[in-house]
Chain A
Amino acid sequence: MKLDNAAKIYPAARRRNWMALFRVSATLSDPVDPAVLSTALSRVLKRLPGFAQSLKRGLFWYYLEHNDGLPDITPDVANPCVRLIPKENRGFQFRVRYYNRRIAVEFFHVLTDGTGGMIFLKTLVAEYLRLKYNAGIPCTDGILDCGESPRPGETEDAYLKYAGSVTRSRSEKNAFYIKGTEDPDDVHIVTGLIPVAEVLERAHARGVTLTEYLTAVLILAIDGIQRRSGVRRCHMKPVKINVPINLRRFYPTETLRNFAIYVNPGIDPRLGTYSFDEILRAVHHHMGAEVEEKLLNARIATNVRTELNPILRAAPLFVKNIAMKLTFNMVGDRKTSSSLSNIGVVRVPPEMEKYVRRFDFILGPLSRNRVVLAALSYRDTLVLNFTRTIRESMVERDFFRFLVREGIHVTIESNNQP
């Protein structure tokens, strides 16, 4: 199977100690039984063969090859999303972990995006609950029926299918980079649990969406860090946040592979000090202008045209790897200061809801950006997971303190060990 358009860069950009990973997890009401989970996983992989893949090197491109095996279910660790070594994982590009009542799946981005990953997790958890408790969980709300055959549309490259002919420039200025004491050996996770109604009320009162509201708070926190760093105003860099947009909202596809594109709302602090409402307006209008089917399509077309470039296609893989690695290092996440990925509302059927207490979404550390944020809401709680690879927690601190000042109740937990 060919890699999809967005996945093509990830194998080349991998480093000895880093790869683009993300994690989705579900916390159940009872401790997890790994043996039952393994049986459920084997059934799910038969239904979703797009995930049972090993990454291989071809002459011109990397490609995915079906893997008939079954990955081991391993106990969870304190530092999630650390580089996955396929040899230690029977060649699979994802791993399943359990800890007490939690089932977690970490995916290499070459397989899927957050939406696809969440469908995989929900299907896995539903199958586990059916096996363990004989629960009658209907196949609705993104849960797939493991008795069905796989549908071809689930593994299609929707970028290629929907790309138009008009392209758009990707040129952008480099953004402010959050510095701190490097801590590459450790991944710090800080989770904020917030009543979703309270945040929605604040966001709707200002006429913006939840993602726009959270993006603005994140920009405000990072802007404050740049201002306190003592850099002269004329030398300040833009503060921009990378926000993935789920393209399934715009195109009728059932693909479970990558199908998202990014917009980078932000502010230029050289122009003056922005109030929160000004940042909110900037983000709202940027998202309003950019998140539009035709403009997004032009950006898909730009990426697809690069993939179809005859010179690039003719180059052998090792040459492509060098070019893609250089490009990733030069562009990559230099154009944004952080990332905010919001999966949105996670819905499950009521028959399943009574077994699942919580869902989490965690982004793995990015190549360069040291602090990233992932969000989802389940039932009445918004779960915000910050991932950080520096020791200083100033971004999360300023972010959550702002929410507290707004009168929102925030509960915090972390992966810190006492």
Chain B
Amino acid sequence: MSYCVNCGVELKDSEKTCPLCDVEVQNPRAPWKEPAERPYPGRLEPVLKRADRRFFATLATLILCIPVAVTLLSDLLTDGMLTWSGYVAGAMALLFVWVILPLYCKRYYLLRLLSIDCLATLAYLKLIEYASRGDWFLPIALPITVAVSVLVLLCALVLRNRKRFSVGVRVACVFFAAGLATVAIDVILAHADDGSWMPRWSFYSVLPCVVLGVVAILMSRHNRLREEIRRRLMY
């Protein structure tokens, strides 16, 4: 019969260390030896392991390489140079950065990954502009991409902080961000068109976004209404 010197509990013969504090059993008169019968067998029930995300990411990358290789090859074989296949390769690269790259990370590093997403989008748009000999990257694509990325980042920061922001505030934040994004796009397009900073059409989309956002906040503050909706929906 041994007792844990830390916890004061009696330990069954099967326990080599105290299961409560991990301190080894010290009993000079009866040193620990394997008992004839343990309370549980040694065999473990196999548990389904989580799918290895990195393995899945590598598999998805290899699958993505197939359309890239096929289009590059067929483009090259047709006229001996790369023309249209660049769009496909660029789109696949963008898909890789947006979807597969986060799977390689142990956790979602918001700022770093969103910055990389933004840069990759800009690079792809620049490639399209270069290939189509356009002149829209600096006045339109760059500011819109940066503005939308900043809004997505702000939204994600609010959505992540569950402790600080209630569900209603988080839903409202998404609506407000959507409204702001349309204003930003409107202003950038107007400025690129005739140099004015006046929004033209975004009013029609901002209004419902603001109203829905305010409704979401009001609903989250109204306990009885919130409870009623929850009850009607399910529990």
The chain A residues found within 8 Å of chain B, CB to CB, are 16-17, 75-80, 82-83, 99-101, 169-171, 184-186, 188-192, 302, 306, 309, 311-312, 323-324, 326-327, 331, 393, 396-397, 400-401, 404-405, 409-418
List, in ascending order, chain A residues with CB within 8 A of B31's CB: none
Report the bound CA distance from A136 to B45 in whole Å: 36
Contact B20 A418, beta carbon cutoff 8 Å = no
Whether A189 lies near B40 (C-beta < 8 A) is yes
> Contacts A324-B234, A415-B40 given: A401-B47 contact, CB under 8 Å?
no
Is B19 within 8 A of A327, CB to CB?
no
C-alpha spacing A399/B10, complex, angstroms: 14
- B10 and A410 form a contact (CB under 8 A): yes
> Could you list some 12 contacts between A and B, CB below 8 A?
A75-B43, A78-B41, A78-B44, A82-B45, A393-B19, A397-B7, A397-B20, A412-B9, A413-B15, A414-B14, A415-B39, A415-B40
Given known A-B contacts A75-B41, A78-B40, A404 and B7 have beta carbons under 8 A apart: yes
Q: B21 near A: Cβ within 8 Å?
A: yes
Question: B18 on the interface (CB 8 Å rule)?
Answer: yes
Contacting pair A401 B7 (CB below 8 A): yes
Given contacts A171-B227, A401-B20, contact A412 B11 (CB under 8 A): yes
Residues of B with C-beta under 8 A to A413:
11-12, 14-15, 19, 39
Check A412–B227 contact: CB distance below 8 A.
Answer: no
Interface size of B in residues (CB-CB distance below 8 Å): 37
Residue in A closest to B37 when the chains form the complex, CB atoms: A100
A416 touches B17 (CB 8 A): yes
Q: Contacts A400-B20, A412-B20, A416-B17 given: A99-B40 contact, CB under 8 Å? A: yes
Give 12 A-B pairs besides A77-B44, A101-B37, A397-B20 with Cβ atoms closer than 8 angstroms: A76-B40, A99-B41, A185-B47, A189-B40, A309-B232, A397-B21, A401-B7, A410-B9, A412-B19, A412-B20, A414-B39, A418-B16
Minimal beta-carbon separation of B37 from chain A (angstroms): 6
Cα of A246 to Cα of B10 in the assembled complex, Å: 32
Counting from the closest, the 7 A-B pairs by CB-CB distance are A414-B19, A413-B12, A397-B20, A415-B40, A404-B8, A77-B45, A82-B45
Q: Tell me whether B138 is interfacial, beta carbon within 8 Å.
A: no
In the assembled complex, which residues on chain B have CB atoms less than 8 Å from the CB atom of A405? 8
> Could you tell me if A411 and B9 are in contact, using CB atoms closer than 8 angstroms?
yes
User: Nearest chain B CB to A200's CB is how many angstroms away?
Assistant: 19
Closest chain A residue, CB of each to CB of B16: A418
Across-interface contacts of B42 in A (CB, < 8 A)? 78, 417
B41 near A77 (CB under 8 angstroms)?
yes
CB distance from A232 to the nearest CB of B (A): 12
Q: Give the distance to chain A from B26, nearest Cβ to Cβ, in Å.
A: 15
Max chain A CB contacts within 10 Å: which of B11, B20, B34, B227? B20
Contacts of B235 in A (CB 8 A): 170, 306, 327, 331
Shortest B7–chain A CB gap in Å is 5
**In whole angstroms, what is the CA distance A16 to B11 when docked?**
36
* Least distance between B225 CB and chain A CB atoms (Å): 12
Contact call A82/B47, Cβ cutoff below 8 A: yes
B66 at the interface (CB under 8 A from A): no
B58: min CB distance to chain A, Å? 21
Q: Which residue of A lies closest to B51 (CB)?
A: A16
> Is B44's CB under 8 angstroms from A412's CB?
no
Q: Contacts A397-B21, A412-B9 hold; do A76 and B41 have CB atoms under 8 A apart?
A: yes
Bound CA span A15–B37, Å: 34
- Which residue of chain A has the shortest Cβ distance to B36 in the bound complex? A100
| B233 at interface, CB cutoff 8 A | yes
Cβ–Cβ < 8 Å partners of B230 in chain A: 171
Please report which residues of chain B, range 26-66, place their CB below 8 angstroms from some CB of chain A when the two chains form the complex. Answer: 34, 37, 39-45, 47-50
Cβ–Cβ contact B41 & A400, under 8 A: no
Docked Cα-Cα span, A30 to B132, in Å, equals: 85
Name the distance in Å between A20's Cβ and chain B's nearest Cβ.
16
Q: Which residues of A contact B11 (CB under 8 A)?
A: 411-413
CA distance A16 to B51 in the complex (A): 11
Measured CB to CB, the closest approach of chain B to A189, in angstroms, equals 7
Contacts of A410 on B, CB cut-off 8 Å?
A: 8-10
B222 to chain A, nearest CB (A): 12
User: How long is the Cα–Cα vector from A75 to B37 in the complex, in angstroms?
Assistant: 15
**B residues less than 8 Å from A411 (CB atoms):** 9-12
Q: How far is the CA of A82 from the CA of B43 in the complex (A)?
A: 13
Within 8 Å CB of A16, what residues of B? 48
Q: Which residues of B contact A311 (CB under 8 A)?
A: 232
- Nearest-neighbour CB distance to chain A for B39, whole angstroms, equals 5
| B47 engages A312 (CB within 8 Å) | no
- Taken together as a complex, chains A and B put the C-alpha atoms of A404 and B5 apart, in Å, by 12
Tell me which residues across on chain B come within 8 A of A77, comparing CB atoms: 40-41, 43-45
Q: Are B234 and A418 in contact (CB under 8 A)?
A: no
Query: Contacting B234 at CB < 8 Å: which of A80, A323, A416?
Result: A323
The answer to whether B223 touches A171, judged by C-beta atoms less than 8 angstroms apart, is: yes
